[in-house]
Structure 1
Amino acid sequence: MIATRRSFGTKEDLAVALAEAVAEHLNDGIEARGHAVLAVSGGSTPGRFFQVLGRRKDIDWSRVTVTLVDERWVPETSSRSNAGLVNEKLLQGPAASAHFVPLYAGGDEPDDAGIARTNAAIDALPTPFDAVILGMGNDGHTASFFPGGDTLAEALTGEGPAMAIRAPGAGEPRVTLVLGRLLDAAGLYLHIEGEEKLATLEKAAGDGPVEDMPIRSVLRQSQTPLTIFWSP
C-alpha cells in the first residue's frame, strides 16, 4: 500500500486542506495542458469540502471539467443524485464556470446503450485525471464497488471506463468508473469522517478478501499513491 494518512481536528480543517491539495493539482493540470479534470464522490461526506473548493478564486474554473466517481442511475432531479449534490454544493460561485460531465445517461436502467453513452463521455476526457476523490461506506465499499456487486470483479479489473453494477447494499442500480480509470490520476484521495469510518478503514487495512471490503482494491494497489484525509 502506498498510502499516507492525514488527520484533522475538525471537518472544516479537513475541507480546507483537501481543497488546497486539489486546487494545486487542478492548477498544475491547467498549466501543463490548458485543462484539468476532477472526479469526485457523492454521499453525505463531501458537501463541506465541495463548498470550500468551489469558492476558490485561484482556479480558472472555465478550464476545469468535473465528473463523478460513481452515480446512482437516477436523474439529477432526484434527491439521491450525486450530480444534484455536485451542482448544489460545488458548481456555485467561481466554480459555476466549470464543465460538468454526468455519469447518468438517461432511462430507467443502466442498459448497454446508456452505459455506451456514459463511456463515450468519459473517454472524451483527457487522462490522467488531475485529482480523484474517493469516499468509503461503513461496509467497506468505495465508488460503487459494493460487496456482492454483480459486476464487482469486472469493475476491479476491466477497462471500462465505466460500467453498471447492482448490489444488495447499493439501493438503485449504479454506474461506476472502473478501478483502472480511478487510479489513472495525478492525485488520489480518500475522504472519510468519523470514528466508525476510521474503524472500517483499519479493518480494511488488515487481512481478508478484496470482495468483502472492496476499498482494499485501492489500499493494496501499488500504481498511484493514496492520501487519506480523516477527521472525527
Structure 2
Amino acid sequence: MFTLNQYSSSALLIDDMVKHIVTALEQAIEQRGRASIAVSGGSSPIPMFKKLSEQSLPWNKVYITLVDDRWVDTTHADSNENLVMKHLLINKAKLANFIGFKNNAPTPFAGEQYTQDKLREIPVPFDVVILGMGEDGHTASLFPHAENLHHGLDMHSGKLVVGMVPLTAPHERMTLTLPAILNSHHIYLLLNGKSKKQVLEKALQGHDVDEMPIRAVLEQKKVDVIGFWAE
C-alpha cells in the first residue's frame, strides 16, 4: 500500500522522516542485534543524511548500502558512495558499516557478481530502503525503456544487483533489482517540489512500468511504501 505524507516545509519532512528511520533501525537492533538501510544518492537526501548522522544509535550495529550507483570512481563527484561518505558517514554515523557497489570491474555488468557477493554481508530483509524518483519516473537506476530494465524488474532472477545503461542520464549504473528493493520492511520515497508531485500523480494513474519504473514499487503489495513530500 502507498501512503503520501505531505509537509508544509522541508524541515518538517526531514524531522519526520528521520524519526521513521531511527525507529525502524532501533526496532531491528532490539529484535535481531543489527539493522540495515539502503539509501539513494542525489541532492535531495543530503539534508536528511546530515540530520540522520547526528542521531544517537548504536551505529556499529547498522549496515548501510546504496540502492544504486554510477560506475565511476568512488572519488568522482557523481559517485553516490562519495556523497554518502561526505554527508551520512560522519558525526555519530561514522561508526556504521558501509558496503558500496563499485569495484575494479570495467563495467557494472562485469562487476555484478563481485558486488552481489559483498552485499551478502548485509542483514536482510533491509529494515529501511530510501528511494527517490526522477522526472522521468525512474527509481534507483531502474530507468524507463533501458535495455536491461526487464532484468532489473524480474522478480524471479535471484539477482540483488544488475548493470544498467540509462537512455536519459549519463554514466553506466549498477542498481538494486526490484526483488532486492522489496526484500525490506519499510520503503520510504523522498520527494521535493511541485514537479515531483505531478510525476507521482502521473505514475499513480497508469500501469506501464517500462514507461515509469517507479510504478513497479508503488503498485506492489509486498511492502508498504510511504512517500514524504514537501513543496
**Paired position in structure 2 for 1:226:** 225
Q: Which residue of 1 aligns with 2:64?
A: 66
Residue equivalent to 2:80: 82
Q: Does 1:153 align with 2:174?
A: no
| C-alpha deviation, 1:214, in angstroms | 0.6
- 2:134 is matched with 137
Q: Distance in 2 between matches of 1:111 and 1:176?
A: 11
For 2:190, the aligned partner's letter is: H
SS at the partner of 1:39? strand
Distance 2:123 2:62 in 1: 11
Q: Which amino acid aligns with 1:24?
A: T
1:1-232 to structure 2, matched below 5 A, reads 2-57=1-56, 59-112=57-110, 114-157=111-154, 158-232=157-231
Cα distance in 1 for partners of 2:93, 2:122 equals 18
**Is the Cα–Cα contact under 8 Å of residues 162 and 177 in structure 2 kept in the other structure?**
yes
Q: Secondary structure at the match of 1:51?
A: helix
Q: Which amino acid aligns with 1:91?
A: L
Deviation at 1:106, TM superposition (A): 2.2
CA contact (8 A) 2:109 2:162 kept: no
Q: What is the CA-CA distance between 1:141 and the residue it aligns to?
A: 0.2
Cα drift, residue 208 of structure 1: 4.1
How far the C-alpha of 1:24 sits from its partner, in A, is 0.6
Which residue identity does 2:21 align to in structure 1?
V
1:136 aligns to what SS in structure 2? coil
Give the drift of 1:115.
Answer: 1.2
| Whole-angstrom distance in 2 between the partners of 1:125 and 1:83 | 16
CA contact (8 A) 1:7 1:229 kept: yes
Distance 2:78 2:10 in 1: 23
Q: 1:110 & 1:63 partners in 2: Cα distance?
A: 29
SS at match of 2:205: coil
Question: What's the offset of the Cα at 1:123?
Answer: 2.1
1:170 Cα deviation after fit: 2.8
Q: Which amino acid aligns with 1:127?
A: V
Give the length in aligned residue pairs: 229
Q: Distance in 2 between matches of 1:67 and 1:164?
A: 16
Q: Could you list the runs of 5+ residues in structure 2 that have no partner in the other structure?
A: none
Q: Which runs of 4+ in 1 moved over 2 A?
A: none
Residues of 2 paired with 1:107 and 1:13: CA distance? 42
Structure 1: how far apart are the matches of 2:191 and 2:224? 17
CA shift, 1:53, in A, is: 0.6
Confirm or deny: 8 A CA contact 2:54 2:91 kept in the other structure: yes
After superposition, give the CA deviation of every residue in 1:12-43 in whole Å (9 maximum; x if it has no partner): 11111111100011111111111100000001
